[in-house]
Structure 1
Amino acid sequence: MSATNQHPALLLSRVDVERIEDLLELPQFRALNTAALRQELARAELVEPQDVPADVITMNSTAKVRVISEDQGEHEYELTLVYPRDADGSGEKVSILAPVGSALLGLRVGSSIDWPMPGGRSARLHVLAIHYQPEAAGSLHR
């Protein structure tokens, strides 16, 4: 497996990163294991919201994703990446603080990433399509 699949280039909205960093400082989230998310934020290239390409998953984007894991096989999902307050437990809205949410942020259509999951497992996430991205829809400061 090549390093590019393990950690593909990451392009993030400056506004998303600022909001996520603020979120990580809140007392209720300090005890969570957010090391992987923090590493992703640190290695990302930041751009202004209006400069985010339409094929990049940003906060509140809805994407079709293939998840491949050793124990659960291969499944496709339509997921919306949300802040914790908007995660409703439906499985369709995934929090940025969940392992899958952290993995999705900044991925582009066609890219894959190997990501640690709870219990020492790992999964490969592959982005098939983006059905909605706020920046592409003109919602730059949602």
Structure 2
Amino acid sequence: MNHLATERQLSWLDHVRLFNLLTVPRAGLNVPAEAAEQALDLLDMAELVDPEAIAPNVVTMRSRVRLQRPRGDSFEVTLVYPAQADAADSSLSVFSPLGLSLLGARLDEELQWQGPAGETHTARVAEIVYQPESSGDFNR
């Protein structure tokens, strides 16, 4: 399932921050053109809600999620802004293929994304381990 095929819900705060990252030139931020286009499409089509009102079953920025692959194994990632991405602690850039699939996804949603060699990966959002908004962390 393509990340744009399902309706996504984003907090207006995440939306503003991501839109600004994509549209205001910044030194050191190099988002591939295809990822930037997909991200802008997602931002254009998303339903925006107040951060305090976003459902706890929605993946937001800085959420930690456990994904389960079809073969049964699972892994955790934290969805972060590009500057915080670090494979060593499983912090994943929102502008990566998996990151774009995760943003606004819901618990139990099946995700599909392209790997670096063009291979297709699939996983289900098995658990939202931490969502800042449902924990009262609005980081304004």
TM-score by shorter chain over 0.5: yes
Partner amino acid, structure 2, of 1:94: L
Match of 2:42 among 35, 40, 44: 40
- Distance across 1 between alignment mates of 2:46 and 2:124: 18
Residue 87 and residue 6 in structure 1: after superposition, are their counterparts in 2 closer, same or farther (change >3 A)?
closer
* Offset, 1:139: 1.0
Secondary structure of residue in 1 paired with 2:7:
coil
Instruction: After the TM superposition, list the runs of 4 or more consecutive aligned residues in structure 1 that deviate by more than 6 angstroms.
Output: 3-6
The Cα RMSD (Å) is 2.3
Instruction: Name structure 2 gaps, 5 residues minimum.
Output: none
Partner of 1:97 in structure 2? 95
TM-score by length of 1: 0.83
Residue 93 and residue 30 in structure 1: after superposition, are their counterparts in 2 closer, same or farther (change >3 A)?
closer
- Distance across 2 between alignment mates of 1:31 and 1:6: 18
Partner of 2:58 in structure 1? 56
Residue 7 and residue 54 in structure 1: after superposition, are their counterparts in 2 closer, same or farther (change >3 A)?
same
Partner amino acid, structure 1, of 2:127: A
Cα deviation digits, residues 59-80 of structure 1 (max 9, x gap):
0000101245xxxx66411110
TM-score by length of 2: 0.84
The percentage of counterpart residues that share the same residue type is 31
Secondary structure of residue in 2 paired with 1:106:
coil
- Distance across 2 between alignment mates of 1:21 and 1:130: 24
Cα deviation digits, residues 98-120 of structure 1 (max 9, x gap):
11111101111111122233332
Cα deviation digits, residues 3-34 of structure 1 (max 9, x gap):
79972221111110111111112343354432
Partner of 2:111 in structure 1? 113
Partner of 1:11 in structure 2? 9
Partner of 1:87 in structure 2? 85
Count of residues in Structure 1 that have an aligned counterpart in Structure 2: 136
Equivalent residues of 2:2, 2:112 under 8 A apart: no
